[in-house]
C-alpha cells in the first residue's frame, strides 16, 4: 500500500504510467491493422507459417498480443493462440518441448523424458485445436531468430503429426531481421523443407512512417483515460489530468504536426538513416511528456510546445534507435549506407 | 492535418483482458468421458494425455504418495462409471470417481450390486475389446458376464490376466477429441438388459447354488425378467416386519401348540421367542438392523409350521412333509425351537445344523434395517414352499426315495432388484440343470 504522504495524484500518475507501458494499452496503428489482415488471411487459408520481421522496438510483440486477441474475437474465445517467447537455450529436444509446454501453460516434470514431453505437447495441441470447430492452433513465436535449425525440425515434426490427424498448426514468427539471415542460411544448406514450410510469407513490420500514422497515435492518447486506484471514479482524460490548465478545446491530436516536426529534426540532426519511428519511442516520448512536463512535475507546462516535445523525444532514447541490424549478441552492426 | 484520416467513432485504443495465466498441472474435459466408459478407462486416458505415471495420478487426485498398479487396483475401477460406481471397498475409487464425476446421476451405470450379485453378473477378469483398446476405450458394460463380444466391433473380448499384457496406447491414436466412438450399440445392450435397474441384490439361501456357474449360463435377457417374480412392493412402502411376523407366529402357534409342539405352550413362551428374535439390540427396537435379529430363523419356523398346519389333516402328506421338515431343519425334532430359544447359550444362532436352509450368514452380512429387508424373509418363505412342491412331486409322484429326492432338488436363489421407479422386484432363480445331473 502507498503511504499517506504519497498523495492520490501521484498514485494515479504511477498507475497511468504502468498502464501506458502494458498490454492494457495498445494503439491500433496502421501497421497493426495491416498485419492483422495478413495474419487473419494466413489463418483462414491454413498456411503453415509466416514471418513478421522488423527492426527492434517497432511494436512486434505488442502487435502479436493485439492480433492474438483479434483472432479470439474473430474465431471465438476458445480459439487457441499460443504465444511463445524464445530465450537463449541449449538446443535439445527436451528443452524445446519443455519450453513449448511452458508457453502452453502446462506444468510438467523436469525429470520427464523428451518423448514424454513431446506426447504432452501433442496432447495439448490436439486438445486446443479441437476446442473449436476450426481444428487450428496458432503458435506465435516471439524472438524467433533464437531458434535453431533443430528447433525448426521439431516444429515441423509437430506440424506433420497434427496434419496427419486433420489439424493445422499455423506458426507465425516474430523477429528482428536476423530471421531473414536464418532463412538464407537454411536455403544455402538446402533445407527447403523448413524454408518452404515456414518462410514463404514474410511481412515487414514498421514503426510510424508518416504524419498520418502519428496522428492515429495522438488520437489514441486523446481517447485514453487515466488509471485510478479503485476505478470507480468518473473517467478523466490524460489531457485533463496532466494538463488541467490548458484550453478545454486542446487535444493531443493537435500536437501531431509538432511531434512529427520534432522527430524529423532529431532524425536529421543525428544523421539517422531509418525513416520510421519505432512505436516504443512514440509512446515513450509521450509518457515522458506527461510525466516530466505534466502537472505533477516541477517543470510543468500549461500545454506542451515544440521545445518540451523535442526534449521528451531526446530523453526517450530515440536517437539510439537507428540500429538497422544487430548481431546475435546484440552489438551494433555497421549501418546501411544512406 | 485532415481529420478524415481518422474514421469517426473508430476505437484506436484497445484494452485487453488477458485472462488467467495460471499454469495448470493437467488438461481434462468432462466431455472426454465417453458414454458407458469405465472409470478405469477414463483414468488411463487421463494418465496418458497428461503424461502422468500411475503414482503421479494418484498423488494428484487422492493425495497419495505411493500407489502401485495391480489387479486389485484395476478391479476397483473397471466396473465403475464416473457418474456412479458400484459399491467397492477400494479406498481410492471414491476420490477418483468424484474427481471425474460428470455430476449427472441420470447417466447409465452398472446398478449397485451386493457382492453375490457381482459374482453372478460380472466377469471376474478384466476384459477388453482389442479394437476399442487401440483407441483407448473400455466400457464397464464389457464386464457384464453375458456379453461375450464387443457390440461395436463384434470381436470376442480378450481377457487380461495381468497388467503386463496390457498394451500401451499412443497419444495420437487415442485422444478422445480425435476419435469418436459410436456407443449406440453399447447403449442398445444396456437398454436391453439393464434398463431401469437401479440396484441388484442376489440372495442365496444356501451354499449349494453355484453363482458363477449359473452366471455363465445367463442369456442376454432383461435383468428384470430373469427368473420368476414372486413379490414386489414400493421401495418406500416398508412393512412392519416385527409386527407381521409376530402376528403370523402367534396365529400359527395357536393352531399347532396343543397337538404338535407341547401341551404346556403359553403366551409367555411365544413372548420369549419373539423377544429373543427381535429385541437383541435395544437401540433399534422399532426397526432393528437385520443382522441383529434372528428373523431368518423364525421365518423358517413360521413357514414350516404354517405348512404343517395345512397338511395336518392328510396323514400321507403329513408324513412326507415331516421328513422334509427334518431335512430343512437338519434335526429330527424340527419344531423344538432349538435354534431360536436355547436357555443355555447366549448365541443361539451359532447352532447351525440345518442342511438346506442354514445360511444364517444372511443375517450377518445384511446391514440394512429389518423392515427394509423383508424381501430376504419372503425369499426364505418362498424357498421352503417351492422346494417342498418339488420334493413332494419327486417322492409322491415319481416315487423316488426320500433321501435321494433331497439330492435331486434344484438349487434356488433370488434376485432382489429395485427399479428406477422405486419398485422392488423379488425374482426366483432356479438352477434347473442340477435336476438333470
- For residue A147, the model assigns a pLDDT of 93
Question: What pLDDT score does B215 carry?
Answer: 92
pLDDT score for B267: 81
CA distance B93 to A330: 57
pLDDT at position B313: 83
Would you say residue B237 has pLDDT above 80? yes
Question: How far does Cα A26 stand from its chain's mean position?
Answer: 9
Better-predicted residue by pLDDT, B85 or A268: A268
CB contacts of A122 in chain B (<8 Å) are 171-172
Which stretch of B17-31, B101-115, B224-238 has the lowest confidence by average pLDDT? Answer: B17-31
Pick from A292-296, B51-55, B84-88, B121-125: least confident:
B84-88
The pLDDT of residue A138: 96
Contacts of A165 in chain B (CB under 8 A): 172, 178
Asked whether the predicted pLDDT for residue B86 surpasses 70, the reply is no
139-178 in chain A: CB under 8 A from chain B: 161, 164-165
**Exposed/middle/buried for B429, CB within 10 Å: 0-12, 13-18, 19+?**
buried
Q: Give the separation between CA B290 and CA B296, rounded to whole angstroms.
A: 9
**B316-363: per-residue pLDDT in tens?**
898 898 888 877 776 555 555 545 443 333 333 333 333 333 344 444
Q: Does A69 touch chain B (CB under 8 A)?
A: yes
Closest by Cβ to A116, choosing from B5, B51, B175: B51
User: Which residue in B299, B284, B388, B395 sits closest to B340, CA to CA?
Assistant: B299
| A105–B contact, CB cutoff 8 A | yes
Structural element, H or E, at residue A82: strand A81-85
Q: How far apart are CA B206 and CA B362, in angstroms?
A: 9
Q: Note the pLDDT tens digit of each residue in B193-205.
A: 998 899 999 988 8
Give the predicted TM-score (pTM) of the model. 0.79
In this prediction, residue B7 carries a pLDDT of 47
Q: What is the mean pLDDT of residues B407-413?
A: 86
Predicted pLDDT of residue A271: 87
**Contact (CB, 8 A) for B200 and B401:** no
Asked if the C-beta of A33 comes within 8 angstroms of chain B's C-beta atoms, the answer is no
Tell me which residue in B5, B25, B51 faces A212 most closely, judged by beta carbons.
B5
* Yes or no, beta carbons of A27 and B23 under 8 Å apart: no
B403/B381 Cα distance (integer angstroms): 22
Q: Which residues, in sequence order, are CB contacts of B215 under 8 Å at separation 6+?
A: B119, B120, B121, B145
On whether the CB atoms of residues B82 and B42 are closer than 8 A, the answer is: yes
Distance CA(A315)–CA(A194), nearest Å, equals 43
Residue of A165, A237, A279 to mutate when probing chain B, most B C-beta within 10 A: A165
Residue-level pLDDT at B188: 95
pLDDT of residue B2: 39
Of A24, A216, A257, the CB nearest to B15: A24
In whole angstroms, give the CA distance from residue B237 to residue B231.
Answer: 13
- The whole-angstrom distance between B65's CA and the closest CA on chain A is 16
Residues in chain B, overall count = 437
Largest Cα–Cα separation, chain B: 126
Residue-level pLDDT at A5: 44
* Contact residues, chain B, for A66 at CB < 8 Å: 14, 16
Mean pLDDT of chain B: 80
Separation between Cα atoms, residue B82 and residue B257, nearest integer Å: 57
Handedness of CA B105, B108, B110, B114 (dihedral sign): positive
Identify whether the C-beta of residue A273 lies closer than 8 Å to the C-beta of residue A338. Answer: yes
Per DSSP, what are the bridge partners of residue A310?
Answer: none
Contact call for residues A309 and A40 (beta carbons, < 8 A) = no
Dump the DSSP string for B73-133: HHHHHHT-BTTBPPP---HHHHHHHHHT--S-TTS--PPEE-HHHHHHHB-SSEEE-HHHH
Q: A280 is written with which cell numbers?
A: 516504443
Residues of chain B contacting A212 with CB distance shorter than 8 Å: 1, 5
- CA–CA dist B249, B306 (Å, integer): 9
Is residue A278 within 8 Å of residue A58, measured between CB atoms? yes
Stretches in chain A below the pLDDT threshold 50:
1-2, 4-5, 324-338
Give B32 or A4, the one with higher predicted confidence.
Answer: B32
Kindly determine whether residue A123 and residue B51, on different chains, have CB atoms separated by under 8 Å: yes
Confidence (pLDDT) at B35: 92
Are the beta carbons of A144 and A84 closer than 8 angstroms? no
Specify the DSSP element, H or E, that contains B360: none
Question: How much is the pLDDT for B341?
Answer: 43
User: Could you tell me which residues of chain B have a Cβ less than 8 Å from any Cβ in chain A?
Assistant: 1, 5-6, 10-16, 18, 21-25, 27, 29, 48-51, 56, 171-172, 175, 177-178
Q: Flag if A108 and B29 touch (Cβ within 8 Å).
A: no
Q: Which of A143-152, B12-21, B289-298 has the lowest mean pLDDT?
A: B12-21
pLDDT at B407: 81
What tens digit of pLDDT does each residue of B67-82 get? Answer: 666 666 777 788 888 8
Tell me which of A168 and B265 has the higher pLDDT: A168
CA dist., res. B205 & res. B363, Å (int): 11
- A229-236 contacts, C-beta under 8 A, 24 or more apart: A229/A8, A229/A11, A229/A12, A229/A15
> CA-CA distance, B412 to B357, in Å (whole number)?
11
List the alpha helices (DSSP H) in B125-240.
130-134, 171-174, 184-193, 211-216
Chain B residue numbers with beta carbons less than 8 Å from the beta carbon of A27 are 12-14
Residues B347, B352, B357, B360: what is their CA dihedral angle, to the nearest 10 degrees?
Answer: 40
* A48 lies within 8 A of chain B by CB: no
Q: Which three cell numbers stand for residue A249?
A: 478545446
Q: State the Cα–Cα distance between residues B216 and A172, nearest whole angstrom.
A: 61
Determine the length of chain A: 338
Closest Cβ opposite residue B1 in set A24, A127, A257: A257
Closest listed residue to residue B122, CA positions, set B95, B145, B90, B89: B145
Residue A25 distance to chain B (closest CA, Å): 6
Amino acid at each position: 500500500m502507498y503511504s499517506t504522504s504519497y498523495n492520490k495524484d501521484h498514485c494515479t500518475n504511477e498507475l497511468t504510467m504502468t498502464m501506458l507501458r502494458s498490454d492494457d494499452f495498445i494503439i491500433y496503428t496502421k501497421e497493426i491493422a495491416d498485419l492483422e489482415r495478413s495474419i487473419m488471411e494466413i489463418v483462414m487459408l491454413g498456411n503453415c507459417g509466416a514471418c513478421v520481421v522488423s527492426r527492434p522496438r517497432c511494436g512486434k510483440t505488442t502487435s502479436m498480443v493485439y492480433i492474438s486477441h483479434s483472432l479470439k474475437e474473430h474465431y471465438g474465445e476458445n480459439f487457441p493462440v499460443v504465444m511463445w517467447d524464445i530465450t537463449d537455450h541449449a538446443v535439445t529436444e527436451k528443452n524445446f518441448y519443455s519450453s513449448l509446454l511452458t508457453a502452453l501453460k502446462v506444468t510438467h516434470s523436469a525429470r520427464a523424458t523428451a518423448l514424454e514431453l513431446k506426447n504432452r505437447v501433442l496432447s495439448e495441441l490436439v486438445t486446443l485445436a479441437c476446442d473449436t470447430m476450426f481444428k487450428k492452433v496458432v503458435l506465435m513465436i516471439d524472438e524467433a531468430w533464437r531458434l535453431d535449425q533443430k528447433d525448426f525440425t521439431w516444429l515441423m515434426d509437430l506440424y506433420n503429426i497434427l496434419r496427419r490427424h486433420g489439424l493445422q498448426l499455423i506458426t507465425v514468427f516474430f523477429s528482428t531481421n536476423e530471421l531473414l539471415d536464418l532463412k538464407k542460411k537454411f536455403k544455402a544448406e538446402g533445407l527447403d523443407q523448413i524454408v518452404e514450410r515456414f518462410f514463404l510469407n514474410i511481412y515487414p513490420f514498421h514503426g510510424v512512417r508518416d504524419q498520418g500514422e502519428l496522428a492515429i497515435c495522438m488520437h489514441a492518447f486523446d481517447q485514453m483515460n487515466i488509471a485510478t486506484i479503485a476505478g470507480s471514479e468518473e473517467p478523466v482524460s490524460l489531457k485533463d489530468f496532466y494538463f488541467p490548465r490548458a484550453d478545454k478545446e486542446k487535444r493531443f491530436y493537435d500536437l501531431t504536426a509538432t511531434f512529427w516536426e520534432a522527430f524529423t529534426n532529431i532524425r536529421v540532426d543525428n544523421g539517422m538513416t531509418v525513416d520510421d519511428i519505432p512505436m516504443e519511442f512514440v509512446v515513450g516520448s509521450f509518457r515522458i511528456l506527461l510525466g516530466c512536463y505534466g502537472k505533477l512535475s516541477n517543470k510543468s507546462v500549461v500545454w506542451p510546445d515544440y521545445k518540451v516535445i523535442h526534449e521528451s523525444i531526446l530523453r526517450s532514447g530515440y536517437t539510439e534507435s537507428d540500429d538497422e541490424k544487430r548481431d546475435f549478441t546484440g552489438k551494433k552492426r555497421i549501418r546501411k549506407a544512406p | 492535418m485532415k481529420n478524415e484520416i481518422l474514421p469517426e467513432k473508430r476505437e484506436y485504443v484497445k484494452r485487453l483482458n488477458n485472462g488467467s495465466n495460471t499454469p495448470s498441472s493437467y488438461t481434462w474435459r468432462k466431455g472426454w468421458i465417453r458414454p458407458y466408459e469405465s472409470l478405469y478407462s477414463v483414468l488411463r486416458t487421463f494418465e496418458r494425455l497428461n503424461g502422468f505415471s500411475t503414482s503421479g495420478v494418484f498423488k494428484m487426485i487422492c493425495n497419495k504418495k505411493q500407489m502401485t498398479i495391480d489387479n486389485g487396483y484395476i478391479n476397483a475401477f473397471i466396473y465403475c462409471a464416473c457418474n456412479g460406481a458400484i459399491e467397492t471397498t477400494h479406498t481410492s475409487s471414491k476420490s477418483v470417481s468424484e474427481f471425474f464425476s460428470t455430476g449427472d446421476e441420470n447417466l447409465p451405470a452398472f446398478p449397485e450390486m451386493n457382492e453375490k450379485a457381482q459374482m453372478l453378473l460380472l466377469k471376474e477378469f478384466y476384459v477388453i475389446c482389442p479394437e476399442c483398446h487401440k483407441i483407448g476405450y473400455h466400457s464397464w458394460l464389457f464386464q457384464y458376464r453375458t456379453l461375450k463380444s464387443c457390440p461395436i466391433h463384434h470381436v470376442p473380448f480378450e481377457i487380461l490376466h495381468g497388467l503386463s499384457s496390457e498394451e500401451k496406447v499412443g497419444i495420437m491414436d487415442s485422444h478422445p477429441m480425435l476419435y469418436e466412438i459410436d456407443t449406440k450399440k453399447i447403449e442398445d445392450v444396456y437398454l436391453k438388459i439393464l434398463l431401469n435397474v437401479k440396484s441388484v441384490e442376489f440372495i442365496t439361501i444356501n451354499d449349494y447354488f453355484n453363482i458363477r456357474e449359473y452366471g455363465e449360463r445367463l442369456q442376454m435377457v432383461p435383468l428384470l425378467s430373469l427368473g420368476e417374480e414372486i413379490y414386489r412392493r414400493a421401495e418406500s412402502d416398508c412393512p412392519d416386519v416385527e409386527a407381521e411376523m409376530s402376528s403370523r407366529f402367534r396365529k400359527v402357534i395357536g393352531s399347532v401348540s396343543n397337538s404338535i409342539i407341547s401341551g404346556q405352550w403359553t403366551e409367555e413362551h411365544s413372548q420369549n421367542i419373539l423377544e429373543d428374535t427381535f429385541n437383541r439390540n435395544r437401540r433399534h427396537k422399532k426397526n432393528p438392523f437385520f443382522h441383529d435379529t434372528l428373523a431368518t430363523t423364525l421365518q423358517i419356523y413360521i413357514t414350516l409350521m404354517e405348512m404343517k398346519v395345512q397338511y395336518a389333516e392328510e396323514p400321507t402328506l403329513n408324513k412326507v412333509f415331516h421328513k422334509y421338515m427334518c431335512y430343512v431343519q437338519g434335526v429330527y425334532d424340527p419344531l423344538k425351537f432349538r435354534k431360536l430359544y436355547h436357555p443355555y447359550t447366549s448365541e443361539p444362532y451359532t447352532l447351525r445344523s440345518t442342511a438346506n436352509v442354514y445360511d444364517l450368514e444372511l443375517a450377518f452380512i445384511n446391514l440394512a434395517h429389518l423392515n427394509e429387508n423383508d424381501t430376504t424373509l419372503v425369499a426364505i418363505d418362498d424357498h421352503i414352499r417351492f422346494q417342498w412342491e418339488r420334493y413332494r412331486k419327486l417322492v409322491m409322484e415319481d416315487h423316488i426315495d426320500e433321501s435321494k429326492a433331497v439330492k435331486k432338488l434344484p438349487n434356488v436363489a433370488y434376485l432382489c432388484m429395485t427399479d428406477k421407479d422405486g419398485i422392488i422386484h423379488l425374482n426366483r432363480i432356479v438352477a434347473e440343470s442340477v435336476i438333470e445331473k
